[in-house]
Amino acid sequence: MRSAYAHAFRRPVVNTFLVRERDRRRARELALVLLVVLSLGGGVFAYIWIHLQVLSTGYRIDELERELVDLSRKERQLRLEAAYLASPSQVERRAVQELGMQPPALEQVVFWEELP
């Protein structure tokens, strides 16, 4: 079967002297598209980074507030314990039990008026 273009003969094309010119308009368009894509990408990257920093700072603030509440509770507990241990009845009880002290006898008491 013969081709529809059988009557056309092929001649080798010699284009060794052809030089393709660069399309300056196309290069400018490519540079402009690249600039737009990079600036939009940079904006999105900056927004995501700032958003992540805000989230991280928020979590840190929550953690520090929780720690502040815990430390305030501990401080209140320690103040109550210090007030309890500084009460005269507790001081007397610990002096008798831990140090073996006894209440003074009447002969051992020196009154203020008796001092020289």
Where along the chain do its domains lie?
Answer: 24-99
Give the pLDDT of the chain (116 residues) as one tens digit per residue. Answer: 555 665 666 777 777 777 778 888 998 999 999 999 999 999 999 999 999 999 999 999 999 999 999 999 999 999 999 999 999 999 999 999 999 998 888 888 888 877 77
Name 90's Cβ contacts closer than 8 Å, sequence gap at least 6.
84
Task: Give the model's pLDDT for residue 1.
Answer: 52
Name 97's Cβ contacts closer than 8 Å, sequence gap at least 6.
none
Single pTM value for the model: 0.53
